Amino acid sequence: MSEPKHTPGRLYVDGGGNIWNDAGRFVASCGGYGGGYGSGSASSRENVANAERLVLCWNAHDDLLAACEDALAFVPLASTEHANANEQGRENARQCVERLREAIAKGKP
């Protein structure tokens, strides 16, 4: 049996902390956390804020992953080919490359 794929496309949040896809299909809810009920309660506002954060991460993921992959090709060149590259500059670039590789690995299924 093949591994299920995630819902494609961008996601959106309604006023109640529910997450929907481009086609209007319900994806998830951040409702039910906290003791208050109603659209004005602190827990309701927190539910919506949580949903908005999840949607922000979802919608930015592919672009951020591509940017990391693109940057990975240029960071080593910038440090080694620059006329003023010193040991600290090379170490900074090495650390940056390591962080980019880690981020890319975390971002891919």
Structure confidence by residue, pLDDT tens digits, 30-69 = 876 544 455 567 778 888 899 999 999 999 999 999 999 9
Does some domain include residue 1? no
Does residue 77 belong to any structural domain of this protein?
yes
In a domain, 59, yes or no: yes
**Could you tell me if residue 6 is inside a domain?**
no
With 70 as the cut, is the pLDDT of residue 96 above it? yes
Is residue 47 a contact partner of residue 37, using CB atoms and an 8 Å limit?
no
Who has greater pLDDT, 109 or 23? 23
What's the domain count of the chain?
1
**pLDDT for residue 7:** 83
Decide: pTM greater than 0.85: no
Domain of residue 66, residue span: 11-107
* Higher pLDDT among residues 6 and 53, named by residue: 53
